Amino acid sequence: MPRLTAIIAAALLLAAPAHARMSDPAPVIAAERAFAADALTMGVDRSFLKWAMPGAVLIVGGSPQPVEALFDPDAAFDPTARPLVWWPNWAGIAVSGDLGFTTGGVEVNGQRRGHYFTIWQRQADGTWRWVYDGGVPASAAEVPGPEAEPTILATSTVAPTSAEAALGELRAVEAVLAAAAAGDQKAAHLSLLAPDGRIYVGDRPPAIGEAAFAEALDAWPKSFDLSPPLSSGASAAGDLGWTYGRALWKDGDANGSGYYVHLWQKRETGWVLAFAQLIVDPPAPPAQG
């Protein structure tokens, strides 16, 4: 009987769908670390291009821009340039093993300056390339350093669907968030945030978990005008997805603008917001006299 039980268990393991055996984010973490290491030996331009998918996007200078427009493949490595260092503090992966993320501290010339957030996609040949990258000045003063292992977002346990189904559902849930945020963004976000999620608000430390969310959201304007997603992506299993879009708001008598970036995870209760950040547009140049 023990032998028969072992045979049945092995057969079930072999018959299990691939997504059941591909939920370890270690390859995503390794890719992020290799990306950061290359920046120190080949330069930021060539490292960003090496690790990017064609057309991968960064939100820089108040607009989403393709990586090819921002970095020079022929840039010479300058060992005297101020070093740009970053490392993962938090990471996760889809149950299908094809989409993941990392986020963590950023250091420029030895000074911690903020946090990055990167979405990674596994390619047909098994390699990983980033598809979205962006950063905010959330304080990195107290986050663990590069030597610490990142915290892991637990993989979704919902039954797999498809990327197409997930993207349709995400458009709908973003519309719900936008409608509510037009009146009270704090209540809107709190209703959808995952208890184990994170928010990056301004130059504050990352808000991690429910206890920190409410206070952090008080630092954002009372309401937002959020556009439908301008770009999005989802895992093959339909359990993990990302979006970004335009955000407008009033700050006293002044108008504010920027881009929201969201990471969504599907759970038994539906889609939850695992991560949110707001990339504020740079100030407009002074008018010429």
Taking only the tens place, the pLDDT of each residue in 110-137 is: 899 999 999 999 999 999 999 999 999 9
> Tokens representing 25?
């984010």
The answer, yes or no, to whether residue 86 has pLDDT greater than 80, is yes
Average pLDDT, the chain: 91
Least confident of 15-19, 156-160, 205-209: 15-19
Report percent pLDDT > 70 for the chain.
Answer: 91
Per-residue pLDDT tens digits for 144-172? 999 999 999 999 999 999 999 999 999 99
Helix axes of 44-51 and 26-41: crossing angle, nearest 10 degrees: 150
- Say which residue the tokens 């607009």 belong to: 63
Average pLDDT value for residue range 256-271: 97
Q: What pLDDT is stored for residue 19 in this prediction?
A: 40
Spatial distance between the Cα atoms of 94 and 122, rounded to a whole number of angstroms: 11
The answer, yes or no, to whether residue 2 has pLDDT greater than 80, is no
Per-residue pLDDT tens digits for 43-82? 999 999 999 999 999 999 999 999 999 999 999 998 888 8
Pick one of 3.10.450.50, 3.40.50.2020, 3.30.930.10, 3.20.20.10 as the CATH number of 18-152.
Answer: 3.10.450.50
Exposure string for 260-282, b = 16+ CB within 10 A, e = fewer: bbbbbbbeeeebbbbbbbbbebe
Average pLDDT value for residue range 9-24: 43
Per-residue pLDDT tens digits for 172-186? 999 999 999 999 999
The answer, yes or no, to whether residue 9 has pLDDT greater than 70, is no
> Tokens representing 138?
């959330």
CATH number of 163-280: 3.10.450.50
All CATH 3.10.450.50 domain ranges in the chain, comma separated: 18-152, 163-280
Average pLDDT value for residue range 190-198: 97
Q: What pLDDT is stored for residue 23 in this prediction?
A: 80
Average pLDDT value for residue range 216-244: 97
Spatial distance between the Cα atoms of 193 and 219, rounded to a whole number of angstroms: 16
Residues 6+ apart with CB under 8 A from 147: none
HSE-CB at 11 with a 13 A cutoff on CA atoms is 6
pLDDT band at 289 (very low <50, low <70, confident <90, very high): low
Claim: this prediction has a pTM higher than 0.75 = yes
